[in-house]
Amino acid sequence: MPNLVDKLLVKPGSKIKLRDIDPAYHGHHESHEEAMPDIQSHVQKLDELQYLMYAEKKHSLLIVLQGLDAAGKDGVIRHVLTGMNPSGCQVTGFKQPTPEELEHDFLWRVHPHVPGKGEVAIFNRSHYEDVLVVRVHKLAPREVWSGRYERINDFEKQLAVENHTSIVKFFLYISKDEQLARFKQRLDDPARRWKISDADYKERKRWGDYLEAYEEVLHKTSTDYAPCYVIPSNHKWFRNLAVSEVINHTFQALHMKMPKPTVNIDEIRKEYHEARKLAKAS
């Protein structure tokens, strides 16, 4: 029986139908309470492994979060990734391109935000908007956006090979009914109303178009060096469990080690003891 990471992985070259995946899937756990110890363990381990990456400075990690409105991208960042040290972690949200960004190629605005060695970068939406929104809204002709899959793969392969960047991409998948329920929560909760957009309900009319666009993205850009995972996200707690487990798996595959000190520890220790003696004498 495949483990959770293997189960959620989109195998390179495979074609999937999102309608065949249950967005309410929750693995062997039956409730948030039951899953909470595992989630907390995963999050704690993420903090330890990110610190190790920051110290070793041989690898980097790029986490890409994609999903339809209300799928939980912000929730993953808040509940799963918030434990990482801000010194080595950066979150970038990619919204509608600015006029300056539109004057350049579609990857231009992404390059400055990729992680350096020892760093973790989190993309809340990403360069994939240019084969999703652009396609669904017909913002560019087919011959333009259809050529971007290969450029995305080349870009990600360059990061993986030349900068030792591990790339993990998540599609947070919710049902249409669950999305509507979350929209209602935003309407009813004053603390969430700021998230309401005029486009939220209009975009629902294009639900089928978005699923088709995502299916092609998953088919054409899930690779060995930058795998895609479909995360059933109707249950927020399972979403957090699954994402944290996949990221831990990605970290652990790097076999990182704490670097050796660059100074003479014995000499530093002598200086420490001498400083203590002087402090006591004074």
The mean per-residue pLDDT over the stretch 28-51 comes to 96
pLDDT recorded at residue 200:
82
User: What pLDDT does residue 263 have?
Assistant: 86
- pLDDT beyond 80 at 2: no
Task: Give 214-250 pLDDT, tens digit per residue.
Answer: 999 999 999 999 999 999 999 999 999 999 999 999 9
Q: Report pLDDT for 272.
A: 85
pLDDT of residue 282: 72
Residue 103: pLDDT band by 50, 70, 90 thresholds?
A: very high
pLDDT tens digits along 76-98? 999 998 878 888 999 999 999 99
In this predicted structure, what is the pLDDT of residue 222?
Answer: 98
Residue pLDDT, tens place only, 199-212 = 888 899 999 999 99
Across the range 253-279, mean pLDDT stands at 90
Residue range 138-154, pLDDT digits in tens: 999 999 999 999 999 99
Report phi then psi at 170, rounded to 5: -115, 130
- What are the boundaries of each domain within the chain? 4-281
pLDDT for the residue 36? 97
The pLDDT tens digits for 106-124 are 999 999 999 999 999 999 9
Q: Could you please state the CATH topology (level 3) that the domain comprising 4-281 is classified under.
A: Rossmann fold (3.40.50)
pLDDT value at 275 more than 60: yes
Diameter over CA atoms, the chain: 79
Q: What percent of the chain has pLDDT over 70?
A: 99
The model carries a pTM of: 0.94
Mean pLDDT to the nearest integer, 52-66? 97
User: Residue 112: how many CA atoms within 13 Å on its side-chain side?
Assistant: 6
* C-alpha to C-alpha distances, 40 to 28, 43, 80, nearest whole angstrom: 17, 5, 9
1 pLDDT higher than 50: no
| Strand-strand pairing, 60-67 and 165-173 | parallel
Number of residues written out for the chain: 282
Residue 193 scores a pLDDT above 70? yes
Q: What is the pLDDT of residues 8-30, one digit of tens each?
A: 999 999 999 999 999 999 999 99
- What are the distances in angstroms from CA 50 to CA 53, 82, 105, 142? 5, 12, 32, 40
